[in-house]
């Protein structure tokens, strides 16, 4: 086993010695030719024309990032619909409406409910007046086929718009 290691070591040494090439004349000729051509000379930087200074004179004009007309000045404070931030949030308000599924409906005496399944697989009993969805959706109508909500969507003017949404029963 030792003689195999020694033989292997000798083969590797022989291969390394055979790969050494001491003729580097082409490299030396290239280096000397390059040194003769450039001789350490660097081209001077181009001369730039000086420009007259620019005086910024727009301090007294309107800021382009502020509205032209203040909306509250014209119409007073916002009077449209807005979410009730003081009421406690309900569990189904943590999910978007797309992720909720209506799986059934219940009725007893004059009370009606629908069963809503959340993405975690939990069933929730919902009736008119409950809230669900991320956009403050309030349940306004229930039927055996679907549930209708009114959501409050922020508009571009800093207010809120009402938008109807519904969830149909899943087959």
* Residue with the larger pLDDT of the pair 164 and 31: 164
Q: What is the pTM of this model?
A: 0.54
Q: In this predicted model, what pLDDT tens digit does every residue of 68-81 receive, in sequence order?
A: 766 555 566 666 78
Of 10, 107, 105, residue with least CA distance to 116 = 105
The rounded mean pLDDT for the chain is 84
* 34-43, 78-87, 89-98: least confidently modelled range: 34-43
Average pLDDT over residues 60-65: 81
What integer pLDDT is reported at residue 171 of this predicted model? 66
What integer pLDDT is reported at residue 71 of this predicted model? 56
What integer pLDDT is reported at residue 67 of this predicted model? 74
Please report, for the chain, the start and end positions of each structural domain, with discontinuous segments joined by +.
Answer: 71-168
What is the topology classification, in CATH, of domain 71-168?
A: SH3 type barrels. (2.30.30)
Q: Which residues pair with 152 in a beta bridge?
A: 162
* 10-24, 88-102, 152-166: least confidently modelled range: 10-24
Both tokens assigned to 52: 């007259």
Q: Alpha-carbon distance 64 to 70, whole Å?
A: 13
């Amino acid at each position: 086993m030792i003689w195999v290691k020694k033989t292997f070591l000798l083969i590797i040494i022989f291969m390394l010695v055979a790969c050494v090439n001491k003729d580097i004349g082409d490299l030396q000729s290239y280096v000397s030719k390059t040194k003769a051509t450039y001789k350490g000379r660097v081209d001077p930087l181009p001369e730039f024309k000086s420009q007259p200074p620019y005086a910024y004179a727009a301090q007294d004009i309107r800021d382009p990032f502020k509205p032209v007309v203040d909306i509250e000045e014209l119409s007073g404070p916002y009077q449209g619909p807005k979410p009730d931030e003081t009421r406690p949030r309900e569990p189904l308000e943590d999910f978007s409406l797309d992720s909720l599924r209506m799986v059934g409906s219940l009725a007893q005496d004059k009370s009606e409910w629908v069963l809503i399944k959340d993405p975690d697989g939990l069933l929730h009993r919902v009736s008119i007046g409950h809230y669900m969805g991320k956009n403050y959706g309030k349940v306004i109508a229930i039927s055996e086929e679907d549930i209708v909500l009114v959501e409050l969507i922020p508009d571009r003017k800093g207010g809120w718009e009402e938008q109807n949404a519904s969830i149909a029963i899943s087959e």
